[in-house]
A and B are shown apart, each in its own frame.
Chain A
Amino acid sequence: MQIRAVFTFWTLVVMAVPVLGQEGLLDILEQEHKDTVPTYVSATFKTTRITYGHSVETRKKGILEIMLSNRFWNTPALQSQSFGVDKMNARIALEYGISDRLSTGFGGSTWDGLFDGYLKYRLVRQRPKGEGSPFSITIFQNASYFSEGLTLPDVDDSFSNRLSYTSQLLIARKFGPNFSLQLTPTYVRRSVRYGDIDTRNHVALGIGGRYKLSHHVSLVSEYYRVFNPLDNFDTYGPFGLGVNWEIGDVMLQFMLTNAPSMVEDSFITGTKNNFNFKNPNLNFGFNFTYVLHLKRKLKGLKQKD
């Protein structure tokens, strides 16, 4: 009995050895892949904006973006003769990737006379499952200057009082090929353009998402909630619902929103209308971004993302 058991055992061992040895060549390569350079999750959001607010994405080194953003809306006047474009706001901006992680941008808006500039840095990049950080984190800082006349009698109209600052921590995760979500804790230091009786410091939280509908089209939405809104007039959280469409070097974003402004401090703390389909609350928004690659060389061996 015992001899038989020993024999059976060895037979099994002998049979197992060739199976173990028959490791395919592709299996060996599978092992080797683990030693190669790290990879990062790309295209959490394809564009640097989700709808009106920033996304975790930054542009790579040497990329210049020419960005033209517009918002159109009707005045509540009954005798309006135009189709959705009684008023418009346009922001024209140039945005540039200084390095693969750091980008900057400068823009001016026509309707609210805001001039803004920002710096954005990709702090943490999401890596595939089990390899590293499950999130992407980008830090964002902007400053905007309110250039139009102040009608408020009692405020100290100085250059520094016309400046607003927005600091954001953009935290996003791509849950799968089709779905990404972003949380955006925000601090806004507001200029005195809406009067001096309020606090000038506001805290807000943004949430935004992207759902990929097809290879080149995605559905996006975004909302900001301000925890200590302005007191001297009613404000509402900006909401946006839109479609992003990528065509090679051109990115198009179409959206419906209640925020006429395109500068962070202004749309987060100073959106005067709630989101509904009445005039002038509903804005139709259109962002056109042309991506110019100023450095077009192949980057060589090092993998960057």
Chain B
Amino acid sequence: MSKVSKLFPVFVFFAMFVHGQESARVIARQGQVSFFSYTSVEHIKAENNQVLGIIDLTSGEIAVSMLMNAFIFEKALMREHFNESYVESDIYPKATFEGQIQGFDSGLEGEQTRIVKGNFSMHGVTKVLEIKTKIERKDQIFLLTGTFEALVQDYQIKIPPLLAGNIAKTISVDFRFECEPYAN
């Protein structure tokens, strides 16, 4: 066996390594997710400004991860109730989304509206979601914004009958991710 053929796998190795570096990703470390519940009795609003989101620009894959106990409520006690009695963040600390931006053109400067389809997991339940998302590109920065609605019932979150009037059955969720280039 010649020296070249012995070294061939080394070239393959380096070629793959270099290729791996090429797939460009953008990340949002302070993505914002907020949700609202409007009923005639009470308005509940909560915000999480520590949401992580990452996009693979070549494949259009997207992933989002948030800590449930990082949601901040207008009423401090609501946050305790939310974590302790509803989403059980001791057992299910995170909500995650993993999906694909359909027809994503990462090279397009300016605005594009795309459907993001993927699996959203929360409170141990995974649902397929299709979310209409506005994507704005400004140089290297990608800004993703959108709104969707979630049914409380879908995620096996139980609301005691006594409080049924205080918490809406449908929760509207807003999100905003400002993604910058990701460096390892």
- 20 residue pairs from A and B, CB less than 8 Å apart: A3-B1, A13-B13, A21-B16, A24-B98, A25-B54, A29-B63, A32-B27, A39-B69, A42-B84, A43-B83, A46-B80, A60-B77, A215-B85, A246-B85, A248-B166, A249-B77, A293-B74, A298-B45, A298-B73, A299-B72
Complex interface residues of chain A between 211 and 261 (CB less than 8 A to chain B)? 215-216, 246-249
Provide the residues of chain B in CB contact with A10, threshold 8 Å.
9-10, 13
Which B residues contact A (CB, under 8 angstroms)?
Answer: 1, 6, 9-10, 12-13, 16-17, 20, 25, 27, 29-30, 45, 47, 49-50, 52-54, 56, 61-65, 67, 69-70, 72-77, 79-81, 83-86, 88, 90-91, 94, 96, 98, 158, 160, 162-163, 166, 182
Contact with B along A12-55 (1 / 0, CB 8 A): 01100110010011101110110011010011001000000000
Residue from A28, A33, A293 within 8 A of B75 (CB atoms):
A293
Q: Are B83 and A301 in contact (CB under 8 A)?
A: no
How many of A's residues come within 8 Å of B, CB to CB? Answer: 47
Which residue in chain B gives the minimum CB-CB distance to A17?
B16
Determine whether A303 belongs to the interface, using a CB cutoff of 8 Å to chain B.
yes
Q: For residue A128, give the distance in angstroms from its CB to the closest CB of chain B.
A: 8
Q: Please report the C-alpha to C-alpha distance between residue A246 and residue B69 in the assembled complex, in whole angstroms.
A: 19
Q: Are B54 and A28 in contact (CB under 8 A)?
A: yes
Q: Please report the C-alpha to C-alpha distance between residue A28 and residue B25 in the assembled complex, in whole angstroms.
A: 11
Contact with B along A135-178 (1 / 0, CB 8 A): 00000000000000000000000000000000000000000110
Complex interface residues of chain A between 289 and 305 (CB less than 8 A to chain B)? 291, 293, 296-301, 303, 305
Given A14-B9, A25-B61, A291-B77, 4 more A-B residue pairs with CB atoms under 8 Å apart are A29-B53, A32-B65, A37-B50, A297-B74
